[in-house]
Amino acid sequence: MTLRFLCALGIALGLGFAMTRVSGAADMLHYPTQSAIAESSQLDIVGALDTPLIAPVLEDFHRLNPDISLNYHNLTTLEVYRTFMSGSDGSRADVVMSSAMPWQYQLANNGYAQPLGLDNAEQWPTWARWRQELFGITFEPVVIVYHKDLAERYGAIGSHAELVTLLEREREALTGRVVTYDPARSGAGYTYAVEEARLSPRYWELVAALGGVEADLVGTTQEMLDGLAVGRYLIGYNLLGSYAQGFVAKHPELEIVIPSDYALVMQRLAFLPRSADNPEAARRFFDYLLSEHGQRIISEQTPLGAVHPALKGPGSASALRERLGEALRPIRLGPGLLATLDKLKREALLARWHREFRRPATATNPPTPEETAP
Amino acid sequence: MSAQDSLYRRLLAWLLLPLLGLGALMLIQAYLGARDTADRAFDRLLEASSLAIAEQVKWQDEQLWLDLSPAALEMLATDAEERVFYALYNARGEFITGNANLPGLAMANGDEQALHYGNVTWNDQHLRLGIRETRLEGWSQRERFEVRVAHTREGRESLTLALFQGSLVRIAIMALLAACILVLTIRLALSPLTRLRRAIRERDPRTLAPLALNLPRELAELRETLNDLLARMRRVRANQERFIGDASHQLRTPLAGLSARAELALRQDDPALWREALQAMQATSASTARLAVQLLSMTRLNNPEASPELTPQDLNQVARTATLGALGACHREGIDLGVETSEEAILVPGVGWQLEECLANLIDNARRYGASQITVRVLANPPTLEVEDNGPGIPADLRLMVLRPFFRGQDSGEGSGLGLAIVDSIARAHHARLTLHEARQGSGLRVAIRFMGDRS
């Protein structure tokens, strides 16, 4: 009953969540057991992480553990959740990874994850784990990407405050040239909105400013990046850093910036389901993923940031912290995430968001009493 | 000494077992107390969280509306990273929002703002559930609603454990101290017993002097009992010594007479005198032999370890047999010996030959002290054997004295002085009382043996 209830809740809420997924990427990776090895085991990983990003990690793991036959299924975050809850995928997942933090937290909170009991897991930083069940394995800041033309014309953007100032000052010029997540359509966008609203009431100024320039609202980071690349947009706000980084490297006309006043940090959360068919293989994968070596692969060969505190180089959480200090705001891994999933909370926040977003349009007319009414 | 018979161990067991039980009760109490304390401490979180949620509940768009604050859930998490659940229900018990269909609690109506707590199992998880029943405080809307919050019990359990471990150490130390004190106290309390034992063991086996030992009251009673026993033993021994002295004296006199008579006869040459001497010596030795026999039976009767088995005896039969036995001697001396028996058989437990000996002694005594008429009588109620004579009798003040061995009413006659003493001993062995009275008629003596043991 509970399961069905959660499913229904998930579908009801999830309809609004557009998924972060790069189109055209292969949906599945398979690493077979080497024929020489007699004893082998299976490992099914379900993740919302595009195959080019995760491939270096899986390849390295497979090189170290050739006896494990590895399957990686790339799904959208909603598909990850639905597949997991229905359990009808045929082969049940042994590792579930997703960037939809509230969903992952909800599953762990309801007891679908099992404790790992690994040394690496015990030593994992407390801010990046919940119990011994849910682990933040990456460290991905949310960034602003802008066209270099913009910097030439109006100066660089380094922070949210500068962005608000710029949007308000150059309202005419930037109308239609700014893009951000639609919180109503994108789960990630909605999560960021909740977190940013929690951080500061000035967030609503930013929303109003975005409304002022009639910013385009889209569903994925990739859409924003594509629009920036073709020059349709000058500023993209709240892009997922891990995707943007690789894209910007290939598009020198774009500039990526981690805001210096505050920067949300998203983490991919992974857990070992209680229903796993191959818990031992899954534990080996976690042992690898949470080890210094595995994290080094993540930091050096993928744009995903590494969490392991021993890593200090570029692409690690420590390096980012050193550079940005207090400004980094990792999304807290705690029961607060459950509030994000609350149906009424979502309606309330979206209502407020759209009200603020439309405020500049109504404000051009003489102020009306309705403005204060809901 | 086996374990059961040790007073020390018995005391220790009977004191330590209740102590252990008490300790177990205290442990249970400590655990329940610790759990209660932990629950109360953590229930504050449920209270605060449900209040924070309830304050966010509004009426909007014709329905209950909640803008859930993440902090309200964060505060439920605790250090133990509890799993957290919440739900909002309206007055009709319909689910409005939340992350779990939390069950309700059966609760008493009445206090409106109260918070109700309960332990529930939801989805295989043991949860502590807090339910706040309240209503909107709007101008027009007074809709009732319920906020249910729950979290897992890990934090409570670890706090309970920590509190309980503290009590455990305290209780263990107290139990240890109590046990030590108990052992010492018992040792101390039982030490007079050891002193008593040592005092008895160290005594000369020949001394019968009373124990002079300072003892606590309970043991002083024991000491007094022991001293009583010792005093009785002293009296018994004095009696025995006097008896032995008397007996040797009694045997020495006829033996000395025999010796003197033989010596006297040897100085003569006349065979007629020898014959006369030999006849006298025969009479003396016969009476000495009788004395020895009486001494023997007296010793046997007085030996408490050799008590023959008592069988039912008909007193009529006993009286007749004894009379028949004495008839010859009496007839020679012209004494009138009669027997008066009861019509029905009177049965008492006893030894036949002893009772007959008894009567024979009494008849003999009467005969020797010059009675001319002796009556043996059997009385039914209480069963009594009586021997009455018409002799000189015994003055009342001497009647107790004559029961002692070797005491004679007058220092004349040929009696051994053992007759009545033997009768007395036999009477005692039969739980009967020997009494001396005046004869019913005239001046004689009436000796009665009244059997009590059977009926008393």
Buried b (16+ CB within 10 A) or exposed e, B185-199: ebeeeeebbeebeee
Helix (H) or strand (E) holding B336: strand B336-340
pLDDT at B108: 58
pLDDT at B414: 53
Residue of B60, B76, B97 lying closest to A342 (CB–CB):
B97
The average pLDDT across A249-269 equals: 92
Q: Are A224 and A236 in contact (CB under 8 A)?
A: yes
Helix (H) or strand (E) holding A319: helix A317-324
Give the residues across from A143 on adjacent strands: A239
Q: Are A51 and A22 in contact (CB under 8 A)?
A: no
The average pLDDT across A63-90 equals: 83
Mean pLDDT of chain A: 85
Q: In chain B, what percentage of residues exceed pLDDT 90? A: 21
Residue of A335, A341, A345 lying closest to B67 (CB–CB):
A345
The answer to whether the CB atoms of A335 and B69 lie below 8 A apart is no
Chain B residue with CA closest to A130: the answer is: B81
Cα(first)–Cα(last) distance of chain A, in Å? 36
pLDDT at A25: 43
CATH superfamily of A141-265+339-360: Periplasmic binding protein-like II (3.40.190.10)
Distances (CA, A) of B254 to B249, B265, B415: 9, 16, 12
Q: How far apart are CA B237 and CA A318, in angstroms?
A: 108
pLDDT for A7 beyond 80? no
B80: nearest Cα among B167, B161, B140, B26: B161
**Secondary-structure breakdown of chain B: helix, strand, coil percentages, each rounded to the nearest 5:** 55, 20, 30
Q: How far apart are CA A110 and CA A114, in angstroms?
A: 11
pLDDT at A138: 93
The CA distance from B44 to the nearest CA of chain A, in Å, is: 18
Q: How far apart are CA B50 and CA B133, in angstroms?
A: 10
Q: Are B417 and B250 in contact (CB under 8 A)?
A: yes
Q: How far apart are CA B158 and CA B272, in angstroms?
A: 126
Q: ipTM of the assembly?
A: 0.81
pLDDT at A24: 40
pLDDT at A314: 81
Residue of A332, A337, A348 lying closest to B67 (CB–CB):
A348
The answer to whether the CB atoms of A339 and B124 lie below 8 A apart is no
pLDDT at A114: 93
pLDDT for A11 beyond 70? no
Comparison of pLDDT for A51 and B368, the residue scoring more: A51
Q: How far apart are CA A357 and CA B185, in angstroms?
A: 87
The CA distance from A130 to the nearest CA of chain B, in Å, is: 7
Residue of B60, B69, B77 lying closest to A339 (CB–CB):
B69
Domain ranges of chain A: 2-139+267-315, 141-265+339-360
Give the residues across from A264 on adjacent strands: A329
Residues in contact with B70: Cβ distance below 8 Å, sequence separation at least 6, in sequence order: A194, A198, A335, A336, A337, A338, A339, A340
Establish whether domains A2-139+267-315 and A141-265+339-360 are of one fold: yes
Domains annotated for chain B, with CATH where assigned, are 3-161 (3.30.450), 217-302 (1.10.287.130), 311-451 (3.30.565.10)
The average pLDDT across A63-87 equals: 86
The average pLDDT across A248-257 equals: 92
CATH class of A2-139+267-315: alpha beta
Q: In A, what residues contact B, Cβ < 8 A? A: 1-2, 5, 9, 106, 109-111, 130-131, 194, 198, 332, 334-345, 348-349, 374
- The reply to whether B99 touches chain A by the CB within 8 Å rule is yes
Residue of B99, B121, B151 to mutate, testing the A interface (most A Cβ within 10 Å of its Cβ):
B99
Comparison of pLDDT for B418 and A8, the residue scoring more: B418
Residue of B71, B74, B84 lying closest to A109 (CB–CB):
B84
pLDDT at B111: 57
What six digits make up the tokens of A1? Answer: 């009953």
The average pLDDT across A146-150 equals: 90
The answer to whether the CB atoms of A111 and B125 lie below 8 A apart is yes
Chain A residues within an 8 Å CB radius of B85: 109
How many Cα atoms are found within 13 Å in the side-chain-facing hemisphere of A350?
Answer: 21
Q: Are A179 and A230 in contact (CB under 8 A)?
A: no
Residue numbers of chain B with a pLDDT score lower than 50: 1-3, 411-413, 454-456
